[in-house]
Amino acid sequence: MTKMQKPLYFSFFPRKCLSCGKLIDYKAYYCDSCRAQMPFIGEERCEQCGCGREHCRCKHKSTHYEAVLAPFYYEGGAKRAVIKLKRYPIYAEPLAKECAAVFAQYYGSIPFNFVCPVPMGKKRRRQSGFNHSAALAKEIAAQVGLPVQECLTVVGNAKAQHTLDFCFRAGNVRGIYDIIEDNAVSGKVILLVDDIKTSGATLNECALMLKLGGAKAVYALCVSVAKGQE
């Protein structure tokens, strides 16, 4: 047996740390010091807001999704990586790997039928060239061994959520999503994937539509959640 060779690709395009850009080993995603500083969420979590107990401010407000889970808070190196994911699909794989790790820990025993990404409107997809949540969903699905089913679509016009104050976000996304085909979701247990949860309005609206379409349960998985959302 010969020792595993470094793929030729990485000789021409060496791997760089996702956070600081330093050259690193081709199997790693972060340099050692950036990985140590990544804003991982602690073990004790709130299912409703996804934060560690110490940063939960949601008062366990009920949501249309059963739970939300993420490896990171939306800050530091995780925030930089999520911003890059919106432009470069290559970031989907390493971020999906972190998502798959928390999936195994917290969602491993749930009998999911498929993974569904939060959809993106045609205009925004034209601007960015791809739906980063769909790219992420595809990578997560491959890593946790589930199929992907894009069963939501954007039917209305909404402003980008990050341009609005939190108090306007639920109204901004109300009624803008729809189910592509009711048969696909009826009775199903669905893993809903997005890059970030800030106010939670997008996930909640998507989960509501899936439930109205007859979904049995909807669990959300994101790369990062904002700390201390009410």
Q: How far is the CB of 113 from Zn ion (least distance, A)?
A: 27
User: In which residue are the tokens 């994101």 written?
Assistant: 222
3 state DSSP class of 117: strand
Q: How far is the CB of 199 from Zn ion (least distance, A)?
A: 13
Binding of residue 203 to Zn ion (CB under 5 A): no
What tokens appear for 86 in the block? 């919106």
Residues 139-178 that bind Zn ion (CB under 5 A): none
CA 50 – CA 156 distance, rounded (Å) = 28
Q: How far is the CB of 24 from Zn ion (least distance, A)?
A: 7
- 72 - beta bridge partners? 40, 224
Binding of residue 58 to Zn ion (CB under 5 A): yes
CB of 49 or CB of 190, closer to Zn ion: 49
CA 100 – CA 29 distance, rounded (Å) = 15
Q: How far is the CB of 90 from Zn ion (least distance, A)?
A: 16
Q: Do residues 117 and 190 touch, judged by C-beta distance below 8 A? A: no
Site string for Zn ion, 8-47 (x = CB under 5 A): ---------x-xx-x--------x--x-----------x-
Q: Rounded to whole angstroms, what are the CA distances from 154 to 122, 127, 142, 202?
A: 8, 15, 25, 11
Tell me, by CB under 5 A, how many residues bind Zn ion: 11
Binding of residue 56 to Zn ion (CB under 5 A): yes
CB of 58 or CB of 154, closer to Zn ion: 58
CA 211 – CA 229 distance, rounded (Å) = 24
Among 29, 38, 41, 49, binds Zn ion (CB under 5 A): 49
Strand 189-197 relative to strand 114-117, pairing: parallel
By CB under 5 A, name the binding residues for Zn ion: 17, 19-20, 22, 31, 34, 46, 48-49, 56, 58
